[in-house]
Amino acid sequence: MISVLRLGHRLGRDDRISTHCGLVSRALGASEIIYSGDKDDKLIEGLKSVTKRWGGPFKITYEKNWRKIIKKYKKKHFVIVHLTMYGLSVNKEIKKLRRKKNLLIIIGSEKVPGEVYQLADYNIAVTSQPHSEVAALAVFLHEYFCGKNKKFKKAKIRIMPQARGKKVVESSRK
Amino acid sequence: MISVLRLGHRLGRDDRISTHCGLVSRALGASEIIYSGDKDDKLIEGLKSVTKRWGGPFKITYEKNWRKIIKKYKKKHFVIVHLTMYGLSVNKEIKKLRRKKNLLIIIGSEKVPGEVYQLADYNIAVTSQPHSEVAALAVFLHEYFCGKNKKFKKAKIRIMPQARGKKVVESSRK
Protein backbone atom coordinates (compact mmCIF):
# COMPACT_ATOMS: atom_id res chain seq x y z
CA MET A 1 0.00 0.00 0.00
CA ILE A 2 1.32 3.39 -0.99
CA SER A 3 0.17 6.48 0.89
CA VAL A 4 1.18 10.00 -0.11
CA LEU A 5 1.52 12.87 2.35
CA ARG A 6 1.46 16.34 0.80
CA LEU A 7 3.02 18.93 3.12
CA GLY A 8 2.21 22.62 3.40
CA HIS A 9 -0.70 23.13 1.01
CA ARG A 10 -1.50 26.84 0.71
CA LEU A 11 -5.01 28.00 -0.23
CA GLY A 12 -5.06 29.80 -3.54
CA ARG A 13 -1.38 29.59 -4.35
CA ASP A 14 -1.12 25.78 -4.41
CA ASP A 15 -4.59 24.85 -5.71
CA ARG A 16 -3.56 23.44 -9.05
CA ILE A 17 -0.23 21.89 -8.04
CA SER A 18 -1.88 20.18 -5.06
CA THR A 19 -4.69 18.95 -7.31
CA HIS A 20 -2.10 17.53 -9.71
CA CYS A 21 -0.39 15.80 -6.74
CA GLY A 22 -3.68 14.11 -5.87
CA LEU A 23 -4.50 13.14 -9.46
CA VAL A 24 -1.02 11.72 -10.00
CA SER A 25 -1.18 9.76 -6.73
CA ARG A 26 -4.44 8.16 -7.87
CA ALA A 27 -3.57 7.63 -11.54
CA LEU A 28 -0.14 6.13 -10.89
CA GLY A 29 -1.23 3.63 -8.29
CA ALA A 30 -1.11 5.10 -4.77
CA SER A 31 -4.00 4.15 -2.45
CA GLU A 32 -4.47 7.50 -0.76
CA ILE A 33 -3.29 11.07 -0.36
CA ILE A 34 -3.29 13.01 2.89
CA TYR A 35 -3.08 16.80 2.67
CA SER A 36 -1.53 18.97 5.33
CA GLY A 37 -1.16 22.75 5.51
CA ASP A 38 -4.27 24.87 4.83
CA LYS A 39 -7.60 23.04 4.98
CA ASP A 40 -9.12 23.10 1.50
CA ASP A 41 -12.54 21.44 1.13
CA LYS A 42 -12.80 22.31 -2.54
CA LEU A 43 -9.53 20.49 -3.30
CA ILE A 44 -10.69 17.38 -1.42
CA GLU A 45 -14.16 17.41 -3.00
CA GLY A 46 -12.72 17.82 -6.50
CA LEU A 47 -10.52 14.76 -6.09
CA LYS A 48 -13.35 12.72 -4.55
CA SER A 49 -15.49 13.56 -7.54
CA VAL A 50 -12.75 12.39 -9.95
CA THR A 51 -12.47 9.11 -8.03
CA LYS A 52 -16.26 8.63 -8.14
CA ARG A 53 -16.30 9.00 -11.92
CA TRP A 54 -13.00 7.39 -12.89
CA GLY A 55 -12.85 4.67 -10.25
CA GLY A 56 -10.84 3.69 -7.20
CA PRO A 57 -10.19 2.69 -4.57
CA PHE A 58 -8.48 5.96 -3.65
CA LYS A 59 -8.83 7.89 -0.39
CA ILE A 60 -8.38 11.63 0.07
CA THR A 61 -8.12 13.14 3.55
CA TYR A 62 -6.85 16.20 5.43
CA GLU A 63 -4.79 16.31 8.62
CA LYS A 64 -3.44 19.55 10.01
CA ASN A 65 -0.73 17.85 12.06
CA TRP A 66 1.61 16.11 9.62
CA ARG A 67 3.91 14.91 12.43
CA LYS A 68 0.98 12.86 13.73
CA ILE A 69 0.63 11.19 10.31
CA ILE A 70 4.32 10.28 10.11
CA LYS A 71 4.23 8.91 13.66
CA LYS A 72 1.05 6.92 12.95
CA TYR A 73 2.46 5.35 9.75
CA LYS A 74 5.77 4.56 11.41
CA LYS A 75 3.81 2.66 14.04
CA LYS A 76 2.05 0.75 11.25
CA HIS A 77 5.56 -0.16 9.94
CA PHE A 78 5.31 1.92 6.78
CA VAL A 79 8.66 2.91 5.29
CA ILE A 80 8.87 6.71 5.13
CA VAL A 81 10.19 8.01 1.79
CA HIS A 82 10.74 11.75 1.39
CA LEU A 83 11.11 12.95 -2.18
CA THR A 84 13.70 15.73 -2.36
CA MET A 85 16.27 16.81 -4.91
CA TYR A 86 18.92 16.58 -2.14
CA GLY A 87 18.38 12.85 -1.60
CA LEU A 88 19.91 9.68 -3.06
CA SER A 89 19.10 8.81 -6.66
CA VAL A 90 15.85 6.94 -7.24
CA ASN A 91 17.66 4.91 -9.91
CA LYS A 92 20.01 3.47 -7.32
CA GLU A 93 17.53 2.99 -4.48
CA ILE A 94 14.36 1.82 -6.22
CA LYS A 95 15.15 -1.93 -6.23
CA LYS A 96 15.48 -1.88 -2.46
CA LEU A 97 12.29 0.15 -2.06
CA ARG A 98 10.25 -2.10 -4.36
CA ARG A 99 10.75 -4.86 -1.79
CA LYS A 100 8.95 -2.78 0.86
CA LYS A 101 5.21 -3.37 0.81
CA ASN A 102 3.98 -0.26 2.59
CA LEU A 103 5.36 3.20 1.89
CA LEU A 104 4.45 6.68 3.04
CA ILE A 105 5.75 9.06 0.38
CA ILE A 106 6.22 12.63 1.56
CA ILE A 107 6.17 15.48 -0.96
CA GLY A 108 6.69 19.05 0.09
CA SER A 109 5.73 22.42 -1.23
CA GLU A 110 7.91 25.54 -1.06
CA LYS A 111 9.94 24.94 2.11
CA VAL A 112 10.20 21.55 3.81
CA PRO A 113 11.20 21.61 7.53
CA GLY A 114 14.64 20.08 8.16
CA GLU A 115 12.99 17.69 10.58
CA VAL A 116 11.37 15.79 7.65
CA TYR A 117 14.82 14.78 6.34
CA GLN A 118 15.50 13.17 9.72
CA LEU A 119 12.10 11.52 10.19
CA ALA A 120 12.29 9.91 6.73
CA ASP A 121 13.80 6.46 6.36
CA TYR A 122 14.86 7.41 2.83
CA ASN A 123 15.42 10.78 1.19
CA ILE A 124 15.10 10.12 -2.52
CA ALA A 125 15.85 12.34 -5.52
CA VAL A 126 14.43 12.12 -9.03
CA THR A 127 17.43 13.82 -10.65
CA SER A 128 19.39 16.20 -8.42
CA GLN A 129 17.92 19.16 -10.28
CA PRO A 130 15.16 21.59 -9.36
CA HIS A 131 11.84 20.67 -10.99
CA SER A 132 8.47 19.62 -9.61
CA GLU A 133 6.98 17.57 -6.77
CA VAL A 134 4.29 16.44 -9.23
CA ALA A 135 6.96 15.08 -11.58
CA ALA A 136 9.06 13.51 -8.82
CA LEU A 137 6.00 11.73 -7.44
CA ALA A 138 4.98 10.49 -10.91
CA VAL A 139 8.41 9.11 -11.77
CA PHE A 140 8.77 7.50 -8.34
CA LEU A 141 5.38 5.75 -8.55
CA HIS A 142 6.00 4.74 -12.18
CA GLU A 143 9.33 3.20 -11.14
CA TYR A 144 7.98 1.58 -7.99
CA PHE A 145 5.21 -0.19 -9.93
CA CYS A 146 7.55 -0.92 -12.89
CA GLY A 147 5.22 1.03 -15.19
CA LYS A 148 2.33 -1.35 -14.56
CA ASN A 149 -1.00 0.48 -14.73
CA LYS A 150 -3.46 0.15 -11.85
CA LYS A 151 -6.83 -1.41 -12.69
CA PHE A 152 -9.55 0.87 -11.36
CA LYS A 153 -12.80 -0.47 -9.95
CA LYS A 154 -16.30 0.99 -10.14
CA ALA A 155 -15.32 3.42 -12.88
CA LYS A 156 -18.18 5.20 -14.64
CA ILE A 157 -15.84 6.45 -17.35
CA ARG A 158 -13.04 4.60 -19.11
CA ILE A 159 -10.80 5.59 -21.99
CA MET A 160 -10.14 3.18 -24.82
CA PRO A 161 -6.60 4.01 -26.03
CA GLN A 162 -6.57 5.28 -29.62
CA ALA A 163 -3.84 6.15 -32.11
CA ARG A 164 -5.89 9.25 -33.00
CA GLY A 165 -8.91 10.96 -31.49
CA LYS A 166 -10.82 10.17 -28.31
CA LYS A 167 -12.83 7.13 -27.32
CA VAL A 168 -14.59 7.22 -23.97
CA VAL A 169 -16.83 4.45 -22.65
CA GLU A 170 -19.40 5.46 -20.06
CA SER A 171 -20.93 2.86 -17.84
CA SER A 172 -24.56 3.31 -16.78
CA ARG A 173 -24.00 1.41 -13.51
CA LYS A 174 -24.78 3.51 -10.48
CA MET B 1 17.27 16.02 -29.55
CA ILE B 2 14.05 16.40 -27.62
CA SER B 3 12.04 19.61 -27.94
CA VAL B 4 8.93 20.32 -25.90
CA LEU B 5 6.04 22.47 -27.12
CA ARG B 6 3.72 23.73 -24.39
CA LEU B 7 0.35 24.78 -25.82
CA GLY B 8 -2.06 27.40 -24.53
CA HIS B 9 -0.19 29.00 -21.62
CA ARG B 10 -2.49 31.43 -19.79
CA LEU B 11 -1.05 34.37 -17.85
CA GLY B 12 -1.76 34.10 -14.15
CA ARG B 13 -3.72 30.87 -14.18
CA ASP B 14 -0.94 28.66 -15.61
CA ASP B 15 2.15 30.34 -14.12
CA ARG B 16 3.23 27.54 -11.83
CA ILE B 17 2.17 24.58 -13.96
CA SER B 18 3.94 26.08 -17.00
CA THR B 19 7.03 26.73 -14.88
CA HIS B 20 7.00 23.10 -13.74
CA CYS B 21 6.70 22.00 -17.41
CA GLY B 22 9.85 23.98 -18.21
CA LEU B 23 11.78 22.76 -15.16
CA VAL B 24 10.83 19.14 -15.88
CA SER B 25 11.82 19.48 -19.54
CA ARG B 26 15.25 20.72 -18.50
CA ALA B 27 15.82 18.39 -15.54
CA LEU B 28 14.75 15.22 -17.34
CA GLY B 29 16.82 15.73 -20.44
CA ALA B 30 14.96 17.75 -23.10
CA SER B 31 17.03 20.33 -25.00
CA GLU B 32 14.42 23.08 -25.17
CA ILE B 33 10.89 24.18 -24.42
CA ILE B 34 8.79 26.42 -26.64
CA TYR B 35 5.80 28.16 -25.05
CA SER B 36 2.68 29.10 -26.94
CA GLY B 37 -0.49 30.86 -25.76
CA ASP B 38 -0.07 34.08 -23.74
CA LYS B 39 3.34 35.74 -23.94
CA ASP B 40 4.90 35.62 -20.47
CA ASP B 41 8.33 37.23 -20.12
CA LYS B 42 8.51 36.50 -16.39
CA LEU B 43 8.06 32.76 -17.03
CA ILE B 44 10.80 32.74 -19.68
CA GLU B 45 13.19 34.83 -17.58
CA GLY B 46 12.65 32.60 -14.53
CA LEU B 47 13.58 29.49 -16.47
CA LYS B 48 16.58 31.17 -18.10
CA SER B 49 17.82 32.11 -14.67
CA VAL B 50 17.50 28.49 -13.45
CA THR B 51 19.47 27.30 -16.48
CA LYS B 52 22.15 29.91 -15.84
CA ARG B 53 22.64 28.72 -12.27
CA TRP B 54 22.03 24.98 -12.63
CA GLY B 55 23.52 24.44 -16.07
CA GLY B 56 22.47 23.52 -19.57
CA PRO B 57 22.33 23.52 -22.50
CA PHE B 58 18.61 24.27 -22.39
CA LYS B 59 16.74 26.76 -24.55
CA ILE B 60 13.52 28.56 -23.63
CA THR B 61 11.53 30.45 -26.27
CA TYR B 62 8.07 31.78 -27.06
CA GLU B 63 6.10 31.45 -30.30
CA LYS B 64 2.51 32.63 -30.59
CA ASN B 65 1.76 30.44 -33.62
CA TRP B 66 2.12 26.82 -32.50
CA ARG B 67 1.11 25.51 -35.93
CA LYS B 68 4.23 27.17 -37.32
CA ILE B 69 6.36 25.27 -34.79
CA ILE B 70 4.84 21.91 -35.65
CA LYS B 71 5.28 22.62 -39.38
CA LYS B 72 8.88 23.73 -38.86
CA TYR B 73 9.82 20.63 -36.84
CA LYS B 74 8.07 18.31 -39.27
CA LYS B 75 10.25 19.81 -42.00
CA LYS B 76 13.32 19.11 -39.85
CA HIS B 77 12.10 15.46 -39.69
CA PHE B 78 11.26 15.55 -35.99
CA VAL B 79 8.73 12.93 -34.92
CA ILE B 80 5.73 14.68 -33.35
CA VAL B 81 4.56 13.09 -30.08
CA HIS B 82 1.43 14.46 -28.43
CA LEU B 83 0.96 13.46 -24.79
CA THR B 84 -2.73 12.86 -24.08
CA MET B 85 -4.67 10.48 -21.86
CA TYR B 86 -6.63 9.38 -24.95
CA GLY B 87 -3.55 8.06 -26.76
CA LEU B 88 -1.78 4.69 -26.92
CA SER B 89 0.07 3.48 -23.84
CA VAL B 90 3.61 4.78 -23.38
CA ASN B 91 4.56 1.32 -22.08
CA LYS B 92 3.74 -0.24 -25.44
CA GLU B 93 5.10 2.50 -27.71
CA ILE B 94 8.27 3.64 -25.96
CA LYS B 95 10.63 1.09 -27.51
CA LYS B 96 9.68 2.30 -30.98
CA LEU B 97 10.01 5.95 -29.96
CA ARG B 98 13.44 5.45 -28.36
CA ARG B 99 14.74 4.62 -31.81
CA LYS B 100 13.74 8.08 -33.09
CA LYS B 101 16.51 10.59 -32.55
CA ASN B 102 14.54 13.83 -32.77
CA LEU B 103 11.19 14.31 -31.07
CA LEU B 104 8.87 17.26 -30.63
CA ILE B 105 6.75 16.50 -27.57
CA ILE B 106 3.50 18.46 -27.38
CA ILE B 107 1.83 19.02 -24.02
CA GLY B 108 -1.45 20.85 -23.73
CA SER B 109 -3.19 22.86 -21.09
CA GLU B 110 -6.96 22.91 -20.48
CA LYS B 111 -8.33 22.22 -23.97
CA VAL B 112 -6.22 20.90 -26.84
CA PRO B 113 -7.56 21.57 -30.39
CA GLY B 114 -8.62 18.36 -32.18
CA GLU B 115 -6.22 19.31 -34.96
CA VAL B 116 -3.25 18.45 -32.70
CA TYR B 117 -4.32 14.78 -32.55
CA GLN B 118 -4.15 14.69 -36.35
CA LEU B 119 -0.90 16.62 -36.74
CA ALA B 120 0.87 14.35 -34.26
CA ASP B 121 2.66 11.24 -35.52
CA TYR B 122 1.95 9.60 -32.15
CA ASN B 123 -0.67 10.31 -29.50
CA ILE B 124 0.74 8.80 -26.32
CA ALA B 125 -0.85 8.24 -22.91
CA VAL B 126 0.86 7.89 -19.54
CA THR B 127 -1.98 5.87 -18.01
CA SER B 128 -5.43 6.45 -19.50
CA GLN B 129 -6.44 8.40 -16.42
CA PRO B 130 -6.77 12.14 -15.82
CA HIS B 131 -3.73 13.58 -14.03
CA SER B 132 -1.13 16.14 -15.04
CA GLU B 133 0.82 17.27 -18.09
CA VAL B 134 3.80 17.82 -15.79
CA ALA B 135 3.67 14.19 -14.69
CA ALA B 136 3.05 12.80 -18.17
CA LEU B 137 6.03 14.73 -19.52
CA ALA B 138 8.25 13.57 -16.65
CA VAL B 139 7.37 9.89 -17.04
CA PHE B 140 7.73 10.07 -20.82
CA LEU B 141 11.20 11.67 -20.64
CA HIS B 142 12.28 9.31 -17.86
CA GLU B 143 11.22 6.33 -20.01
CA TYR B 144 12.69 7.73 -23.23
CA PHE B 145 16.11 8.20 -21.61
CA CYS B 146 15.80 4.91 -19.65
CA GLY B 147 16.15 6.85 -16.39
CA LYS B 148 19.64 8.05 -17.31
CA ASN B 149 20.33 11.49 -15.85
CA LYS B 150 21.53 14.29 -18.11
CA LYS B 151 24.95 15.74 -17.33
CA PHE B 152 24.62 19.51 -17.15
CA LYS B 153 27.36 21.85 -18.31
CA LYS B 154 28.45 25.21 -16.93
CA ALA B 155 26.51 24.68 -13.70
CA LYS B 156 27.22 27.15 -10.90
CA ILE B 157 25.34 24.97 -8.41
CA ARG B 158 25.38 21.21 -8.04
CA ILE B 159 23.80 18.93 -5.47
CA MET B 160 25.79 16.09 -3.95
CA PRO B 161 23.22 13.36 -3.21
CA GLN B 162 22.89 12.63 0.51
CA ALA B 163 21.02 10.07 2.60
CA ARG B 164 20.10 12.92 4.96
CA GLY B 165 20.33 16.69 4.78
CA LYS B 166 21.53 18.96 1.98
CA LYS B 167 24.89 19.28 0.30
CA VAL B 168 25.25 21.94 -2.36
CA VAL B 169 28.48 22.72 -4.18
CA GLU B 170 28.82 26.19 -5.64
CA SER B 171 31.31 26.87 -8.35
CA SER B 172 33.00 30.25 -8.45
CA ARG B 173 33.47 30.11 -12.25
CA LYS B 174 31.76 32.94 -14.04
pLDDT greater at residue A163 or residue B109: A163
- What are A5's strand-pairing partners? A34, A106
Interchain pair B159, A91: CB under 8 A: no
Q: Answer yes or no: pTM beyond 0.95.
A: yes
Q: With a cut of 60, say whether residue A174 has pLDDT above it.
A: no
Smallest CA–CA separation between A3 and chain B, in Å?
17
Q: How far apart are CA A121 and CA A143, in angstroms?
A: 18
| Residue numbers in B near A130 (CB within 8 A) | 23, 27, 50, 54
Among candidates B64, B67, B31, B43, which has minimal Cα distance to B152? B31
**Residue A5: pLDDT band with limits 50, 70, 90:** very high
Cβ pair B87:A132 closer than 8 A: no
Tell me if A135 and B130 make a contact (CB, 8 A cut-off). no
Instruction: Count chain A–chain B contacts defined by CB atoms under 8 A.
Output: 170
Distance, CA of A129 to CA of B159 (rounded, Å) = 8
The ipTM assigned to this model is 0.97
Please tell me which of the candidates B54, B85, B136 has its beta carbon nearest to residue A129: B54
- Rounded distance, CA A22 to CA A161, Å? 23
**Identity of the residue in B88, B147, B165 whose CB atom sits nearest the CB atom of A163:** B88
Tell if the CB–CB gap between A167 and B86 is shorter than 8 Å: yes
Residues of A in contact with B164 (CB under 8 A): 117-118, 120, 123
Kindly list the domain boundaries of chain A, sorted by start residue: 2-170
Q: Which of B106, B126, B110 is nearest to B30 (CA)?
A: B106
pLDDT, position B174: 52
pLDDT in tens, A50-105: 999 999 999 999 999 999 999 999 999 999 999 999 999 999 999 999 999 999 99
Q: Which residues of B touch A131 (CB under 8 A)?
A: 20, 23-24, 26-28, 138
Residues of B within 8 A of A139 (CB-CB) are 28, 138-139, 142
Indicate whether A173 pLDDT > 70.
no
Share of chain B above pLDDT 90, in %: 95
Lowest mean pLDDT among A12-26, A52-66, B42-56, B160-174: B160-174
Q: Exposed e or buried b for every residue in A47-85, given b needs 16+ CB within 10 A?
A: beebbeebbbebbbebeeebeebbeebeeeebbbbbbbb
Q: What dihedral angle (degrees, nearest 10) is formed by the CA atoms of A56, A61, A67, A71? A: -50
- The Cα B105–Cα B31 span in angstroms is 11
B2-170 falls under which CATH superfamily? SPOUT methyltransferase, trefoil knot domain (3.40.1280.10)
